[in-house]
């Protein structure tokens, strides 16, 4: 059996294991170990097992992940994010569907410190869904808004997905982060436009909110100064070139702890709980990432990336066609797998294709992250939908929540069209950063 056939069989076995609901890390690791053993023998297999996990996990860039996760968990536990929805409501309630629009704004702000779509959806679900239901909002609109808005956690920096991509693709985290800013804002904007358009057409979906005075609006800004301080310190430091992503995460986590202690809103119990949540999330991410690194080594031994590049070269696909093909692949995989699993499963093959085709790895990283974001709300295994279902209990079925996000999927398709048609939406800010225009 030649190496290419073996690697293709490995993909088939991997698909079966994932279909049987074997954990992603275990499925990736088993296929990688078995493939390397059959390809180069037992001795080489043990060499890979000794070197790859340590070599990957010891990467300094990966230490940014637990730091940013800790910052997000501490900020939430200490109540630093509690005022997000109140501020967004105070300033956006005059719009049609004001509370739903405020939920999108609150989710965008929460994403700037959380780094996780699941955490964003769960937190905003608890904060924003009850007020919308109490005000008489259509249940489908309420839950659909939060499920979709939660996906901003994967795109708006700091994002664990973007951080992992940066490590695998060996691209600067700062450029990847700033490249995701405009797509993240575009996503939020189209969600808002879609909500307003639906409510204007059918006002019964969302009753008008009460009038809020300008005094109340300005007073509400006091609720979010700690969060804004974190955002300015962390991203001002990264984009200004004052410290690395890891240092930014560490400073952000320490700042969140200090603010929580100073405000007497962070107890020792909450701090320990935040640390344990960080450990659990980091462990899960690292297990999948290490297994994916081993699968990358297996595919490299087999020559699969070069084989795929040869096929693409023969077909003559251009950059746009490749991006569209990747989009279709990610949408299908996103229906069944978690985002990090999808990304790490496909990067070993896709990264060489992007490089050979002349597609910017910064652009590819932001676009693939956006596609993974869409997968979070696509049936049958849209992770954010089930997070919201857990938050709302028996208020609605999972099928009804999926129906609520359909309109947001349309908005996502519009965003994807713009990202594919105009790559500058991603690359403009990173070019400014690399040229020294952003300091």
Residues 12-66 have pLDDT tens digits of: 888 888 778 788 888 888 998 999 999 888 888 898 888 888 887 777 778 888 8
Q: Is the pLDDT of residue 302 over 90?
A: no
* C-alpha to C-alpha distances, 335 to 151, 157, 328, 332, 354, nearest whole angstrom: 14, 24, 11, 5, 23
Q: Specify whether the CB–CB gap between 116 and 72 falls below 8 A.
A: yes
- pLDDT band at 419; cut points 50, 70, 90: very high
Lowest mean pLDDT among 198-202, 248-252, 411-415: 248-252
Residues 369-399 have pLDDT tens digits of: 999 888 888 877 677 888 888 888 888 888 8
Distance CA 91, CA 158 (A): 25
Task: Write down the pLDDT at residue 192.
Answer: 94
Q: Is the pLDDT of residue 84 over 80?
A: no
Task: Write down the pLDDT at residue 367.
Answer: 94
Q: Tell me the average pLDDT across 214-219.
A: 82
Task: Write down the pLDDT at residue 437.
Answer: 53
Task: Write down the pLDDT at residue 436.
Answer: 59
Q: Tell me the average pLDDT across 122-139.
A: 88
Q: Tell me the average pLDDT across 154-158.
A: 86
The distance between the two most distant Cα atoms of the chain, rounded to a whole number of Å, is 75
Q: Tell me the average pLDDT across 204-228.
A: 81
Task: Write down the pLDDT at residue 273.
Answer: 93
CA-angle at 85, arms to 384 and 204, nearest 5°:
80
* Residue 2 Cα to chain centre, angstroms: 37
Task: Write down the pLDDT at residue 421.
Answer: 92
Cis peptide before 380 (omega within 30 of 0): yes
Q: Is the pLDDT of residue 404 over 80?
A: yes
Q: Is the pLDDT of residue 1 over 70?
A: no
Task: Write down the pLDDT at residue 438.
Answer: 52
Residues 259-280 have pLDDT tens digits of: 999 988 889 999 999 999 889 8
């Amino acid at each position: 059996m030649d190496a290419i056939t073996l690697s293709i069989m490995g993909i088939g076995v991997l698909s079966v294991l994932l279909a049987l609901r074997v954990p992603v890390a275990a499925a990736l690791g088993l296929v990688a170990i078995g493939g390397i053993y059959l390809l180069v023998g037992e001795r080489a297999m043990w060499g890979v097992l000794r070197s790859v996990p340590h070599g990957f996990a010891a990467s300094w860039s990966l230490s940014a992940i637990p730091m940013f996760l800790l910052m997000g968990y501490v900020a939430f536990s200490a109540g630093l994010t509690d005022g997000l929805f109140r501020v967004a409501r105070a300033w956006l309630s005059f719009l049609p569907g004001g509370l739903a629009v405020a939920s999108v704004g609150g989710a965008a702000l929460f994403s700037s410190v959380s780094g996780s779509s699941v955490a964003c959806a769960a937190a905003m679900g608890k904060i924003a869904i009850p007020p919308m239901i109490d005000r008489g909002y259509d249940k489908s609109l309420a839950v659909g808004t939060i499920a979709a808005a939660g996906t901003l956690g994967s795109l708006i920096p700091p994002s664990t997905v973007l951080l992992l991509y940066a490590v695998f693709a060996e691209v600067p985290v700062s450029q990847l982060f700033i490249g995701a800013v405009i797509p993240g804002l575009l996503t939020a904007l189209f969600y808002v436009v879609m909500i307003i358009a639906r409510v204007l057409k059918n006002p019964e979906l969302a009753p008008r909110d009460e009038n809020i005075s300008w005094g109340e609006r300005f007073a509400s800004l006091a609720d979010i100064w700690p969060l804004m301080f974190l955002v300015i310190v962390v991203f001002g430091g990264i984009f200004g070139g004052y410290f690395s992503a890891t240092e930014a995460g560490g400073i952000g986590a320490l700042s969140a702890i200090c603010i929580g202690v100073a405000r007497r809103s962070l107890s020792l119990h909450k701090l320990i709980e935040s640390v344990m949540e960080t450990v659990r999330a980091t462990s899960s991410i690292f297990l999948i990432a290490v297994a994916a690194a081993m699968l990358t080594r297996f595919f490299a031994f087999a020559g699969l990336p070069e084989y795929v590049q040869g096929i693409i070269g023969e077909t003559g696909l251009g950059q746009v066609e490749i991006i569209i093909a990747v989009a279709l692949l990610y949408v299908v995989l996103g229906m069944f797998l978690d985002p990090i699993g999808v990304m790490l499963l496909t990067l070993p093959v896709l990264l060489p294709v992007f490089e050979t085709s002349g597609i910017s790895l910064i652009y590819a990283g932001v676009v693939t992250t956006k596609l993974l974001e869409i997968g979070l709300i696509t049936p049958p295994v849209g992770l954010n939908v089930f997070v919201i279902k857990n938050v709302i209990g028996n208020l609605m079925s999972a099928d009804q929540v999926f129906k609520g996000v359909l309109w947001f999927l349309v908005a996502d398709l519009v965003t994807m069209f713009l990202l594919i048609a105009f790559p500058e939406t991603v690359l403009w800010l990173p070019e400014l950063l690399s040229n020294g225009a952003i300091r």
